[in-house]
Structure 1
Amino acid sequence: MIQPVVPFFLFLFLSISTLVQSQEADDEEEILQPLLLHTVYYEKDDCSSPVGLSTFVHDETLWIIGGHDNVTQQCSLELTCIIDGDGPFCQNELTGNVEQYEIRNQVAKDGRVFQCDQSNENVGQDDCRFLTDCYGSSVFPNCHFRMRSSGAIAQDPSLVRNDNAEGIAGLQHTAYLNLYEDAECKEMLGIDGLVAGGARVLAHTSESMTCREASSCLADPNGATCESFGGVTDETTTYNLRPSMGKAMLCDDLEDESTCALVEPTCVQSTIFPSCYQRLVASSELLSNPEVYFTTTKEPMNSTTATDTPENEVEPDEEEEEEPLANGASAAWLKMGGDFAGSVLFVLFGGYCFGW
């Protein structure tokens, strides 16, 4: 009576083992993919009505230069230091923009961001922590911020909507270059800011690089993630942005206004990132109509975003939380199932062979 049962349990054991191995392989593949997240900045302490964002690549080190608009008290102006701390506007128009701070962001599989920020000690906070809420910035006194994943914004563009963006004068100093993988600009993969009054030199990527890979090079052309995909080429394009509202204005020569022209935020083939299509969008336009620019045709990868607050926040030196799988099971439960099936198989097979 035992003999017919053995093949069934052998099949069960092999199936569960294969599932566990497949999940582990998927986890490894997920970690290797470039994962872009955004720091969304707000003037208000309740993190409503955003005034801009910055982009970072998972597990890359950033150097942030602080800036303080002590005249008009606008986060939208301090944002110029976040986007281009070495640029002329940050260096000449704002104060406190000397010291640099190292920041490193790591993304958990559930979308939460673990950040180590040297500047946290300025406000009496731990250097390293999970970011799950609205915070006051430690280097930009008039700013508050939240972390948002690319997927979360694409699924719900209202997260970066500001219905009063056209009335914020500070937004005339910034614009954004958006990257998409399709000719209709429906699948957004990357975004990075530009600041008026300075030259933004953009390094090209090769045609063999996918748009998703190229998006990591837009955000951090010198980073290890970009390098792992082949890095940038020696060819560059310079964007000279001039202050404007509604539409971005590019110039051949910033000193000669006659060389400047407004740029429509239309979808065009990128000559800088050949595998991508792009839009160049003024900040006020981007924040007023985010549903036009933050788009995706894909289903969300999981239900948790970078801003969901977990019931039990885990510090890095404590026991790790069990990461949930897509189907709601956990790796530990699958492993237990595999161990149990193996034990049953051993007992039954041993009984069959040795007469237990």
Structure 2
Amino acid sequence: MIQPVVPFLLFLFLSISTLVQSQEADDEEEILQPLLLHTVYYEKDDCSSPVGLSTFVHDETLWIIGGHDNVTQQCSLELTCIIDGDGPFCQNELTGNVEQYEIRNQVAKDGRVFQCDQSNENVGQDDCRFLTDCYSSSVFPNCHFRMRSSGAIAQDPSLVRNDNAEGIAGLQHTAYLNLYEDAECKEMLGIDGLVAGGARVLAHTSESMTCREASSCLADSNGATCESFGGVTDETTTYNLKPSMGKAMLCDDLEDESTCAPVEPTCVQSTIFPSCYQRLVASSELLSNPEVYFTTTKEPMKSTTETDTPENEVEPDEEDEEEEPLANGASAAWLKMGGDFAGSVLFVLFSGYYFGW
């Protein structure tokens, strides 16, 4: 009676193994694909009138230097510490905390962001939670924030529009480097902030790296995602920015104003990220005309946030909260268990058949 069963179980085992390998390959491709999201910051508690953004890579750990106790400061100024907490402007011009907090962001397959933030305990919040609304920052007391995907912003650039940006003095201290896939800068793939008054050293990527891959290195050149694509080279370029409005001001020497010149936010081939084109844009210009810079020709990723949590959505229990982003891997786990079980049964039956049990 054993012999007819063996071919069937062999077929079952091979089928399940193929499914497991296919699922694991799909999961690996999704994890390795640079998945960039942005924290958009606001000075108003209703998350209107944005003053800037920061970028993170899916499942990478960030260390954020704490904000400042002076609640009369502007979020547009605190943004310099969000972008470059170790930089001279944050450390010398703004006084306050130097304590660092670990933050880790994960993106679930439904597009929501799951964040674990050590600093949440400072304001009596759970360390880990899904971010689906407007929040008061636990690190920067003058800021409120929302999480947005690159695709969501490209689909609706008004999400980062501020019609009064030219009147916010704090914006003169920041600018942004935008990366695009094409020579017309229509397909934006990455963005990261720069702070005036200090040097930003940008590590180059190789020509073999795609622009989408390079965008993860712009966001975090030391991160595991960037490393998985080959990492950065030994060559670097230094950007020295002087505070400015309207156009970014690049200098050869910050101490010598004669070496400074405004940079047009035009689309140019990037020498730092060879597979990309880039724009260097002052914050006030970026927020005043976001539709010029946040562009895409592709189907955008589902938005990571909604204005309110859906009424029919059940929030996870606190003890299960950390597991939910990984719940989509359950099918692969069940398939693997099935494959292991089938393999065990097949081994027993083969052994019985061979030894005459």
With over 3 angstroms needed to count, the CA separation of the structure-2 counterparts of 1:5 and 1:187, relative to structure 1, is farther
How big is the shift at 1:23? 6.6
More helix by share: 2
Contact 1:85–1:97, Cα closer than 8 Å, also in 2: no
Contact 2:239–2:250, Cα closer than 8 Å, also in 1: yes
Contact 1:132–1:306, Cα closer than 8 Å, also in 2: yes
1:347 maps to which residue? 348
How big is the shift at 1:318? 7.0
How big is the shift at 1:299? 1.1
With over 3 angstroms needed to count, the CA separation of the structure-2 counterparts of 1:19 and 1:248, relative to structure 1, is same
Q: TM-score, normalised by structure 1?
A: 0.82
* Aligned Cα root-mean-square deviation (Å): 4.9
Contact 1:69–1:77, Cα closer than 8 Å, also in 2: no
Contact 1:75–1:142, Cα closer than 8 Å, also in 2: yes
Note the residue ranges of structure 1 that are not aligned, 5 or more in a row: none
Counterpart-to-counterpart distance in 2, 1:280 and 1:124: 39
Contact 2:178–2:191, Cα closer than 8 Å, also in 1: yes
Compare 243-252 and 3-12 and name the one that shifted more: 3-12
How big is the shift at 1:188? 0.3
1:37 maps to which residue? 37
Contact 2:190–2:215, Cα closer than 8 Å, also in 1: yes
Contact 1:322–1:332, Cα closer than 8 Å, also in 2: no
SS at match of 1:327: helix
Using the aligned pairs only, state the percent identity: 97
Contact 1:50–1:160, Cα closer than 8 Å, also in 2: yes
With over 3 angstroms needed to count, the CA separation of the structure-2 counterparts of 1:94 and 1:21, relative to structure 1, is same
Counterpart-to-counterpart distance in 2, 1:138 and 1:297: 36
CA deviations 1:235-282 (Å, max 9, x no partner) are 000000000000000000000000000000000000000000000000
1:126 maps to which residue? 126
1:85-234 matches, within 5 Å, as 85-234=85-234
How big is the shift at 1:66? 1.5
How big is the shift at 1:97? 3.1
With over 3 angstroms needed to count, the CA separation of the structure-2 counterparts of 1:305 and 1:346, relative to structure 1, is farther
How big is the shift at 1:293? 0.2
How big is the shift at 1:70? 2.5
CA deviations 1:97-134 (Å, max 9, x no partner) are 31011101111011111111110011001111111110
Compare 91-100 and 140-149 and name the one that shifted more: 91-100
Note the residue ranges of structure 2 that are not aligned, 5 or more in a row: none
Contact 1:67–1:94, Cα closer than 8 Å, also in 2: no
SS at match of 1:324: helix
SS at match of 1:233: coil
Contact 1:40–1:53, Cα closer than 8 Å, also in 2: yes
Compare 64-73 and 104-113 and name the one that shifted more: 64-73
Compare 15-24 and 308-317 and name the one that shifted more: 15-24
SS at match of 1:147: strand
Compare 173-182 and 295-304 and name the one that shifted more: 295-304
CA deviations 1:210-233 (Å, max 9, x no partner) are 000000000000000000000000
Compare 63-72 and 327-336 and name the one that shifted more: 327-336
Counterpart-to-counterpart distance in 2, 1:115 and 1:327: 17
SS at match of 2:70: coil
Q: TM-score, normalised by structure 2?
A: 0.82
CA deviations 1:51-84 (Å, max 9, x no partner) are 0000000010100012227375200000000000
With over 3 angstroms needed to count, the CA separation of the structure-2 counterparts of 1:73 and 1:177, relative to structure 1, is same
With over 3 angstroms needed to count, the CA separation of the structure-2 counterparts of 1:19 and 1:299, relative to structure 1, is farther
Contact 1:69–1:75, Cα closer than 8 Å, also in 2: no
Compare 325-334 and 48-57 and name the one that shifted more: 325-334
Equivalences, count = 356
Contact 1:240–1:254, Cα closer than 8 Å, also in 2: yes
Counterpart-to-counterpart distance in 1, 2:326 and 2:87: 44
Contact 1:243–1:249, Cα closer than 8 Å, also in 2: yes
SS at match of 2:24: helix
